Chain A
Amino acid sequence: DAGVTQSPTHLIKTRGQHVTLRCSPISGHKSVSWYQQVLGQGPQFIFQYYEKEERGRGNFPDRFSARQFPNYSSELNVNALLLGDSALYLCASSSDRTYSPLHFGNGTRLTVT
């Protein structure tokens, strides 16, 4: 079975622009979470979606938004990009079982210049 897939793998944007990142979960997984990983740090939680509903939101500004589609794939949108948004954006899917581990994609490396 295919793992979590993310696109694009790399992206370069200019300050003030908008970006959309995409994620396809493992087949059968209904939960998708997004994390931001700045170089040298651990991942930081941005959003969780389950069955197209937002289940959790981390401490990120309103410039960050996400949605989940009927096929459980997800998009992360970031508006008005800042230099500090440069990071690896990770998507993870999981089943809804208790203590279910997260299965991560390889991320999208976003560079804002």
Chain B
Amino acid sequence: TQLLEQSPQFLSIQEGENLTVYCNSSSVFSSLQWYRQEPGEGPVLLVTVVTGGEVKKLKRLTFQFGDARKDSSLHITAAQPGDTGLYLCAGASLGNQGGKLIFGQGTELSVKP
């Protein structure tokens, strides 16, 4: 059974601080996606990484896919209260034609002004 271990599970920081969320597995994934979910809503895609070692930046968010495609990280610089939410990593298995993702447990981020 493929698993994605996400850490930390909870994170409460002050506005302006930096943070990193980790997503680890013993399995290789063909791609890894990061989603953000707000209360009462479904997850919304932030980024997809597909190449080992790939780094993608989305404004203050930096996403990295591990060289072996087993792990990923999300780094937020100068966090703002608007970044508050549940961050989810999700991996697609090798040969997966889409639709089936393995999700991590999520990181509940709270950024206080």
Q: Which residues of A contact B (CB under 8 A)?
A: 4, 31-33, 35, 40-45, 48, 50, 55-56, 58-59, 90, 92, 94, 96-107
Contact = CB atoms under 8 A, between A and B. Distances in A.
Nearest to A100: B98
Interface stretch (B13-21, B41-49, B55-63, B70-78): B41-49
A105 B99 contact: no
Given A101-B33, A101-B45, A106-B41, A43 B98 contact: no
Contacts of A90: 42-43
Contacts of B102: 45
Contacts, number: 76
Interface residues of B, number: 28
Contacts of B104: 42
Contacts of A45: 100-102
B106 A41 contact: yes
Nearest to B86: A42
B105 interface: yes
Interface of B: 1, 4, 6, 30-31, 33, 35, 40-45, 48, 50, 88, 90, 92, 97-106
Contact of A41 (B97, B99, B100, B105): B105
Given A101-B33, A105-B42, A106-B42, A33 B88 contact: no
A14 to B, nearest CB: 24
B106 A56 contact: no
Given A48-B100, A99-B50, 16 more contacts: A33-B99, A41-B105, A43-B90, A45-B102, A48-B99, A55-B100, A56-B100, A92-B99, A94-B99, A97-B98, A101-B33, A101-B45, A102-B99, A104-B42, A106-B40, A106-B42
